[in-house]
Structure 1
Amino acid sequence: MPFSALQIEAGVISLRGLERRIMRAILYLESILLRPVPTGKAMTVNIPHTDVFPELGDDSLKALGVIAELVAVDWVVSLGDLMRADSLTQAAQAMTCSNAGAFVDVPSFSLTPSDFTLDVDQYEDVYLATELQCGIISAHATIGGHVYTCTFFVDAQNIDWNKLQVAFQKVFDENSIYRSVFIPSAAGHA
């Protein structure tokens, strides 16, 4: 027996109501999961990328995950309005970081020292950098179907957050980042 127009309309309204309830539940869960983590602990947060930066390209959206591991969500959301930087060096100068033991067959940095050479066909997103810039972005390489990454541990107490904001905005603009991992040194890994 076919459904009447009223029955179909009632069903659609019911589904829309269910959808709204599901969305409210999702937003509630996100508000819990995305709460700022107290300073001194490793921060790993999931960001609804497309909601925060719908105008950014895919590479830049992936970059937001980097910042999510460093700072609270409400701070990340404000990044869209930042002024552009003339150079990543402006931010790098305020950071203290060290190579935490990369794989021997993987370059230490995506932002590679100017005297460092490697096969750009094998390693993605590599460009020259000053010594101060090394460590802002970790390297990754796809070899035999496996992705290798280098992790850097950052001392959050010695970071100039304003400069770091500007640096990441520059990264967004250039769409030049795929994968990075930053962990506060207070997490016991420094």
Structure 2
Amino acid sequence: MTGERTYHHGDLRRAVLTAALDVIAADGPDALSLRDLARRAGVSHAAPAHHFKDRTGLLTAVAAEGYALFADALAEAPDLRERGVAYVRFALGHPAHFQVMFRPELHRADDPALLTARARATTALRAGVSGLPDASRGGDDRLAGIAAWSLAHGFATLLLSGNLDEPVGGRDPGEVFRALAGLVFTQEDDSDG
């Protein structure tokens, strides 16, 4: 027997996912290795393959979990602006998931759990666009959705990369996003006042 720890783990799948999220948050998805994750979880180097098969399987599980959490966060928001705020807060609260979710080359596009979770998130995002007045949609829900997604995703990505540290300063990113969205989109209750 080698010096490697090989004990039974109560929830190996969760332990490996948690360790993967830690590695991704610190060093990015390219730093991920099943062997290293097994060491961190205190199991044999082959144990993670039982749950994920390979690195791509693990990253697919990270993306699927991320989209499910993301869909839940979006579903709680009452309108497009608040969905954007939820988008930004999700990215800041789950930076590892966020990094993997939007890099399709890292995961299996045909994975059923991933497809289901992504579809839920897409539905939640589209519901926000459908609540906009016609003038804000420009008659094209798809383009309005792309504009909203670009604004939220771009803002979140710039925040995560530190590019907005100075302009945002100590202000709440959600409040800053609300102001930005107000410059681009008019919502129903904005036209009432």
TM-score by length of 1: 0.28
Higher helix share: 2
Higher strand share: 1
Decide which structure has the larger Cα Rg and report it: 1
Q: Which has the higher contact order (CA 8 A, sep 6+)?
A: 1
